[in-house]
Structure 1
Amino acid sequence: MTIRIEHPSLNELYAYWDRKRGERAAPARADIDPVDIPHLLSNIFICQVAHEPRDYIVRLFGTALVEGLGRDLTGKSYSEIFPADVVARIHRDYDEVVEKCAPVTARKDASWSDKSHLHYELLLLPLSDDGKTVNRIVGAAYRLEPA
């Protein structure tokens, strides 16, 4: 699997996830141990996948993400936080992770929030407790400095 990631910390998270999955399509949530990656935690988030209807519930939202966005999303689903058009844009990347059980990376701006001046690189990685169904997504976002 080839994936283009520019930010060094996202490359490190991807390599960690890849080691933990081994021969499987995705590791389980229990395979991801925060003790292994403490220096990455402030930029990491974990979402639980709700399948019917499809939504994503934030279970962990790192402190750097809280600071950057100006609020903590922990415990909330995207559909209860954002308007429908924003949810649809966010869901596109997350749905791809779930449907393909594969990583997604992108460069984005935070136009979906009131922080449209923020630009970031995003990495979304599938987690599967049964080895078949993606039931969580671990991801990270790192702010890109203006060019």
Structure 2
Amino acid sequence: MVRTVAEYWADLPPTPLGIPRRSDFDPVSLPPRVLPHIWMVDLDREPDRFRFRLCGSHLVRALGFDPTGRYYDEVFPDFAATETFAALARVRDTAEGSWRSGDPNLVFPNHDIRVLERAFLPLTGDGRRVDIVLAVSVYRSRPPASR
């Protein structure tokens, strides 16, 4: 899933900033099985906050509710101190994507997530700065330890 979205993003036409425009991203171009794993984040700068723009059903199920339109710090207490905040800020500041696999660093109270894989991929609305992150995530339960 993550690789499929990352490859699609890499094939989109780049702006002079080196990243695709939001308007070039067409989720219908992706395989339907990927769509529940897609979500988007608006990057606000004044103040420095991140807002759920769109949430696929995979994330909604993990959270237990649809956070679309809400800020991360409204959903996750102490969000500014998390690795996820730092990763989103890096994507915004560097216009480079981010990939991670391993233990989750945010608590999903309604889901027993043990392992996640995710990518944060920068998009631009105006061609001059990163203002949206295209995200894809897969959550899994950790397999039982072998005896």
TM-score (norm 2): 0.84
Is the aligned partner of 1:14 residue 2:6? yes
C-alpha distance in 2 between matches for 1:21 and 1:49: 21
Q: State percent identity of aligned pairs.
A: 27
Q: Which structure has more strand as a fraction of its residues?
A: 1
Q: Which structure has more helix as a fraction of its residues?
A: 1
The one-letter code sitting in structure 1 at the alignment partner of 2:121 is: L
Is the aligned partner of 1:26 residue 2:22? no
C-alpha distance in 1 between matches for 2:70 and 2:128: 25
- Cα RMSD (Å): 1.8
C-alpha distance in 1 between matches for 2:50 and 2:103: 20
- Residues 100-136 of structure 1: CA deviation (Å, up to 9, x unaligned): 1000011243342235643210100000122220010
C-alpha distance in 2 between matches for 1:54 and 1:111: 20
- Does the CA-based 8 Å contact 1:45-1:62 persist in structure 2? yes
The one-letter code sitting in structure 1 at the alignment partner of 2:81 is: A
Which sections of structure 1, spanning at least 5 residues, go unmatched? 1-8
Question: Which residue in the other structure is 1:64 paired with?
Answer: 58
- Does the CA-based 8 Å contact 1:111-1:117 persist in structure 2? no
- Does the CA-based 8 Å contact 2:15-2:21 persist in structure 1? no
Displaced runs of 4 or more, over 6 A: none
SS in 2 for 1:110: coil
C-alpha distance in 1 between matches for 2:112 and 2:142: 13
Which sections of structure 2, spanning at least 5 residues, go unmatched? none
